[in-house]
Amino acid sequence: MAGVELRLIEDCDLDVLFDQMRDPQAVRMAAFTAKDPSDREAFDAHMSKVRTSPDVIMRAVTRDGNLLGSIASFIIDDHTEITYWIDRPAWGRGVASQALALFLGEVAVRPLYARAASDNVGSLRVLQKAGFTIMNTEISYASARDAEIEETCLRLG
């Protein structure tokens, strides 16, 4: 999709990202979210932490100058994992796929890992299109659904 770009997250992006990350339908689909997506104080604390962490690479996803989400890599249990959030009105328009392709060009670490709720078919399709392969599934607690659900674990490289 023409016009999709990555850039550093700026302070002025935080209000938009906060709004995107508390959309009820998007939160349910993502499943593994903040315990309370409407808690602005927790969001700000988390963003401050990840934006200053040397173990996190985080980018804003834009198209034609409009902020459509974020993408990041972080280290957990000695593995580098990726995560992304795309604003729901941009779903199904190739934004996530192009953002991930651009991000993979910036992050040289391999292997990379990713996780998605097993019923999040769109996200799984984006990851597999980028070359991630399914390793296994796990049952994990999803705070957005207040239940244990199946989560698909993927690997690239």
pLDDT tens digits, one per residue of 93-150: 999 999 999 999 999 999 999 999 999 999 999 999 999 999 999 999 999 999 999 9
Q: Is the pLDDT of residue 30 over 70?
A: yes
**Mind giving me the DSSP string for the chain?**
-TTEEEEE--GGGHHHHHHHTT-HHHHHHH-S--S-TT-HHHHHHHHHHHHH-TT-EEEEEEETTEEEEEEEEEEETTEEEEEEEE-GGGTTTTHHHHHHHHHHHH---SSEEEEEETT-HHHHHHHHHTT-EEEEEEEEEETTTTEEEEEEEEEE-
Q: Is the pLDDT of residue 2 over 90?
A: no
Domain map of the chain by residue range? 4-156
**Domain 4-156 belongs to what topology?**
Aminopeptidase (3.40.630)
Rounded to whole angstroms, the Cα distance separating 92 from 126 reads: 10
pLDDT confidence of 1, banded at 50, 70, 90?
A: very low
pTM of the prediction?
0.95
